[in-house]
Amino acid sequence: MLNDPATSAIPRRATGGGPAGRTVLMVEDNEDNRIIYATMLRHVGYVVHEATDGEQGLAMARSTRPDIILMDISVPLVDGWEATRRLKADPATRDIPVVALTAHALPSDRARAEEVGCDAYLAKPCPPQDVASTVSRLLGVAA
């Protein structure tokens, strides 16, 4: 079941401590969204890698092994649904938490996110603070 930002579910990869050195891969084709969310995440101490399409996101996930992935759904080449499905099917990346960060905000979209393996779901527009707190919660990082 997807983690709801309002709940305090036990994160999959809880490691404690602060965000220093923890990496976030953001797969997002909209430059404004990348700037907004990456700036907030860097401000609180995360290292952020950025991919602008699903193919690049898959390659970067496999090469950099980020601690968590923020996945937009409507990205070029390979959409976020398929990219997440592939990541969760790959033994090398299946344990990396994936957060759907998307404008696809219908209940059926949330259900599909869960179906393909997303660990959490955030509908855009989403306040940057909510993105940072969801990342921290899933990684077990103290606020």
Domains and CATH numbers, the chain: 23-134 (3.40.50.2300)
Per-residue pLDDT tens over the stretch 25-68: 999 999 999 999 999 999 999 999 999 999 999 999 999 999 99
Phi, psi of 59 (to 5 degrees): -65, -45
Q: Which residues contact 49 (CB under 8 A, 6 or more apart)?
A: 23, 24, 25, 26, 60, 64, 66
Per-residue pLDDT tens over the stretch 75-106: 999 999 999 999 999 999 999 999 999 998 88
Burial class of 96 by CB neighbour count within 10 A (0 to 12, 13 to 18, 19+): buried
For residue 102, what is the enclosing H or E element?
A: strand 98-102
